[in-house]
Structure 1
């Protein structure tokens, strides 16, 4: 989050200028959030086209998330060094260029590198869009500005899977990135035309280059270890051991440095506040579970249930319907209820949704698969705003921007780690279930002989029949493995509830917390 003043010394915009500024800032935000979800249903197509496994394709998502998280703590320093408007416009234009390079990527290594670049340059975009939006409205209309913000950040995840699925099925997958180009150019041009005379004060401040370098090394090596661990056989591989050691040492030095530096890139001292550490830890774990399952579900649907990218997108999209309807109500009434109770309700609904998914089988129809997705929107609406209210409830007003930035950093890193862990567990459990199911396939089994006879009657030779049976076992094994991940995630959501109640009930900073919650998306 930017550390520049929340309100610009310039007076609020009026009339059409404010409307067009809102549209421009919202369009940039929409583009950013859209890009975090549009690739989910396209992973099998991207992986197939670039000659890697769909599980390796998840690096397309994790590289964006890690780079985006690393850039977040820099936003405050950059905005004061170059000005909020200049930095925002530069962020949008660099995002456009990196999107173009993503679409042109000739192989997976280049695509991952360009996605990391895209995530890094996108880091300042959302916190600055929020800050500039608030400064364009009078204080009395700040709530309306944040409601518009929340709608934008909730519509994008709905459109992402739909748009990504349709593009993947009907065009080259590169167009999921190319569509950012006209939107980004228009948003940057409009934002500069309307806001360049409202530039914030520029100040030269020291930057914690050592802390930043340690952060990059620690987070990057841990993410690479999580992404490559499966194919390298985890700690049987010297490469994984080196990555884990470098990450552990990097985090140790990072924590020691940040606690003693006068201008830390991440102010870890805020973790002394009970509400902040309980809220941040709950948000990070919950978001990692959410993102892991959000990536796993379309992979399972497309690889083992025969769904096209478009069909998977249609199944994923309704998650935002209830969220769009209910989020404004939750934001408006957040101070009337204990946010711990609302968050508890959200976690119970998340647990229910994942428990329902843990009962899926290979015969589940579209309607059965859709029900949990619809219900999940209720949990989303009751998740971000109350939990951010808890997290920032005990923070001094002048520290809210820094606290929100640290919380967002932890959440985004958690989402990337959660994606890697979920896919790895899915593969491991699938291998176990495959071995157990394969033991039942033998000549002494009536079911095996009957199935082989049916395949022979259909004109298959013995090798073809056994290959077909192996594909059926794969489908069952990966379905059972997905059920395991869903069930485990459901249990963890329930275990998070006591952590929420360790926080203190707080009425402080209610408006600031609700405002910051919009940016948490």
Structure 2
């Protein structure tokens, strides 16, 4: 223990902070990967967990919902909690809570127990992303901020994309509890490195008052909004009183919270940072970035497994090159910005490349193979990777160091909510588009081509020894399967293009982001 203490004391001086800043960046990024990995890693293990926990499909979804709701509640108050406990202590506490909850999740034997520990895990993980970003803004000088954000961005992009890959492999090779146990070695590594290298914040504000009523309003409003987004499509939106209740509660509580925070002397979240037009424009764009990232990560696995018959592990392997492409693109983007390329140009190029990748996705068919998927997925990863770092830096460029805590919490919450909205809309529109496409295809079943196909199916069945009456009925059933499959394929094609155009549609907001370099006041911290 004596050998560790000198290292801890040395890590608080300026020279040591600069000396170890890349280790610090890797440490907090590892913590972020853990948190984001667990957002999507559970999805591939759902069928296995249902059997072990004795839960229905509708009940088991609370394992994911509980985690995400807890996440979004903690995100906006990360800056406040960092001030309350000390940023380094809060980071250590969050990682430790995440590890303990992960072990408990793996050992859970009932659904209520699992949901409880997933909520605890979400509370621990929710503080990691914003706290990590705040830490990087302090330990890196302004001239290296692009590199810092590129390292951080790799974790943000890789986490959700790697979830299906890692989860599928662990579930297939071992069993579903290992999707939680994997957090133990990685979490302990992040915890130890945090204790050794991560300094406390120099910008910590003394907390003299805790607005418990404001906290209740925020938790109620954001929690209800997340439940609305998670449950809306399944309950057919406003046909359900549950969804109507969530809507009223979220609007009322969030509205009251905003008014209270703007008027309160000691706000939980300093919403005044939104007065900066550049930051507000960045929030709008990152909302669409979150929607595009999480939605395409959601849509493609459903397409691959539902229509193409791939396993979770095979699907994860397909997604992996896209994640790696994002990770490799980010440091390149940082270097380009450092060498003088305008960040707004880089964001525009990234959005255009993303649109092109969605156009390539639009041409997928039910006959597409692995070779057809690889290039479009890699191009998608490149486009998203080009956007993240310059957008992050531009959004914070006008803010004073004292505002970074609240700003990073809001920024990451906005991206998370964008992802939730995107996934909710994807599920809803996929169903609606599929119904519309089915009606159109059914109208064409009387065409000569369709009748020839139906006759071919009937002759195939007759040739296999099926009686005539049964063959006709079976041929009609097979024809409907083909129609439904094709209708769903066309629905996914429409969705891919929809998100491509959505990303392009926010580019005019770049006109409000005129400052192109991170505020030099970051250097004043050192």
Regarding TM over 0.5, the answer is: yes
How far apart are residue 400 of structure 1 and its match? 2.8
Higher mean Cα deviation, 321-330 or 407-416?
Answer: 321-330
Instruction: Using the TM superposition, give the Cα deviation of residue 512 of structure 1 relative to its aligned residue in structure 2, in angstroms.
Output: 5.1
Name the structure 2 match of 1:455: 461
Number of equivalent positions: 506
In structure 1, what is the equivalent of residue 517 of structure 2?
507
CA distance in 1, matches of 2:220, 2:145: 39
Partner of residue 417, structure 1: 421
Equivalent of 1:357 in 358, 361, 386: 361
Q: How does 1:312-327 map to 2 (within 5 A)?
A: 312-327=315-330
Partner of 1:495: 505
Q: Deviation at 1:21?
A: 6.4
Contact 1:13–1:136 at 8 Å: present in 2 too?
no
| Distance in 2 (alpha carbons) for counterparts of 1:144 and 1:70 | 29
Deviation at 1:313, TM superposition (A): 0.5
Deviates more, 1:445-454 or 1:421-430: 445-454
The 1-side partners of 2:71 and 2:55 are apart by 26
Matched-pair contact (CA < 8 Å) for 1:292–1:418: yes
Whether the aligned pair in 1 keeps the contact of 2:330 and 2:388 (CA below 8 Å) is no
Conservation of the 8 A alpha-carbon contact between 1:8 and 1:135: no
Deviation at 1:142, TM superposition (A): 7.2
User: Is 1:254 aligned to 2:260, yes or no?
Assistant: no
Alignment partner, residue 3 of structure 1 = none
Rate the CA distance shift 1:65–1:207 in 2: closer, same or farther, 3 A.
same
> For the aligned residues, what is the CA RMSD?
3.6
- In structure 1, distance between residues paired with 2:137 and 2:398: 22
Deviation at 1:34, TM superposition (A): 2.6
Q: CA deviation at 1:139?
A: 8.7
- Superposed CA deviations along residues 188-237 of structure 1, whole A, max 9, x for unmatched, are 24533x25997987944322322222222222222222332333332223
2:400 to 396, 399, 402: 396
Change (3 A) 1:92 1:268: same
Q: Secondary structure at the match of 1:402?
A: helix
Stretches of structure 2 lacking an aligned partner (at least 5 in a row): 1-9
Find 2:300's aligned residue among 289, 297, 317: 297
The separation in 1 between residues aligned to 2:134 and 2:234, in whole angstroms, is 43
Do the aligned residues in 1 keep the contact of 2:322 with 2:379 (CA within 8 Å)?
Answer: yes
- Structure 1 position 387, deviation (Å): 1.1
Structure 1 residues 354-381: Cα deviation after superposition (integer angstroms, max 9, x where no partner): 1211221101111111111111222122
Question: Is 1:81–1:205's contact at 8 Å kept on the other side of the alignment?
Answer: no
Displacement of 1:180 in angstroms is 0.6
Unmatched runs of 5 consecutive residues or more in structure 1: 1-6, 516-521
What is the SS of the residue equivalent to 1:383? helix
- Distance change in 2, residues 1:282/1:152 (3 Å): closer
Contact 1:65 1:413 in 2 (8 A): no
Q: Tell me, in whole angstroms, the C-alpha distance in 1 between the residues paired with 2:451 and 2:113.
A: 49
Task: Give the Cα–Cα distance (whole angstroms) in 2 for the partners of residues 384 and 207 of structure 1.
Answer: 34
How high is the TM-score relative to the length of structure 1?
Answer: 0.84
Q: How does 1:50-61 map to 2 (within 5 A)?
A: 52-53=56-57, 61=64
Instruction: Report the CA distance between 1:168 and its aligned residue.
Output: 2.9
Distance change in 2, residues 1:378/1:56 (3 Å): farther
Aligned pairs for 1:472-487 (under 5 A) are 472-487=482-497
**Mapped partners of 2:95, 2:481: distance in 1:** 45
Q: Against the structure 1 CA distance between its residues 441 and 57, is the aligned structure 2 distance closer, same or farther, given a 3 Å change threshold? A: farther
Is 2:103 the partner of 1:100?
yes
Is contact 1:28-1:184 (8 Å) kept?
yes
Matched, 1:382 2:382: no
Residue 7 of structure 2 is matched in structure 1 by none
Per-residue Cα deviation, 1:39-68 (whole angstroms, up to 9, x for no partner): 455556656876655x98776555434422
1:255-292 per-residue CA deviation (whole Å, 9 max, x = no partner) reads 22222122222222222221111111111122112211
Q: Does the 8 Å CA contact 2:362/2:497 hold for their aligned counterparts?
A: yes
* Cα distance in structure 2, aligned partners of 1:98 and 1:270: 34
Distance 1:470 1:110, change over 3 A: farther
- Equivalent residue number for residue 162 of structure 1: 165
For 1:82-161, list aligned pairs within 5 A: 82-105=85-108, 111=114, 113-130=116-133, 148-153=151-156, 156=159, 159-161=162-164
Instruction: Report how far residue 166 of structure 1 moved.
Output: 1.5
The Cα shift of 1:159 comes to 4.1
Seen in structure 2, the aligned counterparts of structure 1 residues 21 and 277 have a Cα distance that, compared at 3 Å, is closer
Distance in 2 between residues matched to 1:24 and 1:503, nearest whole Å: 30
Q: Which moved more, 1:56-65 or 1:408-417?
A: 56-65
Paired with 1:503 and 1:140, the residues of 2 have a C-alpha distance of 19
Return the alpha-carbon distance in structure 1 between the equivalents of residues 247 and 158 of structure 2: 38
Shift of 1:151: 4.9
C-alpha spacing 1:428/1:148, structure 2 compared with 1 (3 Å): closer
